[in-house]
Chains A and B, each alone.
Chain A
Amino acid sequence: MDAVNEITIGMADLKVGKAPQVLSTILGSCIGLCLYSPRHQTGGLLHLMMPFAGESVHQLNYKKAKYADTGVAELIHVLKKTCGVATPEIVAKMFGGAKVLKNVERNIGGENAEVVRSLLKEHGIVLKAVKVGGENGYRIKFHLDTGKVTCQIFGGQPEEF
């Protein structure tokens, strides 16, 4: 893959792009949500950290992409505004949510995944592929020419979704 076509997304961030670009990120307990419109060959990747924004919406420099509830809505909004993608055209794929640190009691990854599922349902977006959980990190590459996502869980081979 041509490196100039690859766009990296950090934690609590989202980016959108068009074919032939590739959106990539590396996850632990965070969730990588890929939304794609096959007709536009356009998609966005959200790297969210936590389920709900709560009081954080009042913070200065508040990052919508940090939280599932505000991040999913924002990604849908950006896809519509910048690329003209309507919500019914969108399909979703979700990755990550691992429990990497054994001494951390809260399974934030699992909570994130559950919240994203229900939010997508509320928006009427079909979740076409899910690979979440486990104890290892995820490297994902979202190919906007096909909508396919290459997912490599640490220690394993890359798989296509």
Chain B
Amino acid sequence: MEAKKVHRALQLVASLSIDKASQVFSKMIKVGAKIELEKVYVADISRATEELMVTDDFDVIGAFVDLVGDMPFKFLFYVAADDSLALTDLILHREPGVTKKFDLYVSSTVQELGNVLASAVTNVFASDFQIQMKPTPPQVVHDFASTVFGEYIMEAAADQNEILMIESMFKVVRMDIKCRMFLLPKGDTQKTLSGIIGAA
């Protein structure tokens, strides 16, 4: 019963946060972004990472953000390294293809997207649930997608074999750019959330 309540609460939070993040993402890149995936699920750490090694067998630029405050979460945004070049062009209003190699601006684009998206999430928590949280400065990592994801879940996976995740995928309209965003509740977050939503 309790698990069901937490799941329902997380679904609500996920839906609102992802909607908001998608709006902010579209505004940032000045092109529409479509939410292709939005799910809340319990994942076995071995199966989830094994699957990702197959589906996302490429390198990515990822932004890690800790959302600290009343209900801590870990946030991750990543995009395939090749696509991050196109995202940089979009943000800087350049013609697609101008940015040709991975440089400081590309890394900074992902850093800023991570920052703005994480802030969009904390904004939903504050405005809709009166839960105060702050994002830490993003840490940007360029590596294999599975390495980035593995490090992201490491802390939670150290204590649990099954982790509760919020996952979404945005697709940039008319361009084949897909970005993934993950939210992972930390510590007592699930309990706190269920209390707040349950009481509402």
Contacts and interface: CB of A to CB of B under 8 A. Distances in A.
A and B touching (Cβ–Cβ under 8 A): yes
Interface of A: 8-13, 24-30, 49-50, 59, 61-63, 65-66, 98, 100-103, 108, 136-139, 154
A62 B160 CA distance: 9
Contacts of B127: none
B144 interface: yes
A101 B64 contact: yes
Given A136-B143, A137-B147, A10 B154 contact: no
> Is chain B's interface secondary structure helix, strand, loop, or mixed overall?
helix
Given A11-B46, A100-B147, A154-B144, 4 more contacts: A10-B48, A13-B50, A49-B157, A154-B142
A80 B194 CA distance: 47
Given A49-B154, A100-B143, A101-B64, A61 B47 contact: no
A100 B146 CA distance: 12
Contacts of A66: 157, 161
A11 B141 contact: no
B49 interface: yes
Contacts of A49: 154, 157-158
B192 interface: no
A13 B53 CA distance: 13
Contact of B147 (A24, A28, A63): A28
B14 to A, nearest CB: 23
Interface string B155-170: 0011001100000000
B59 interface: yes
A55 B95 CA distance: 57
B151 interface: yes
B151 A100 contact: yes
Nearest to B153: A11
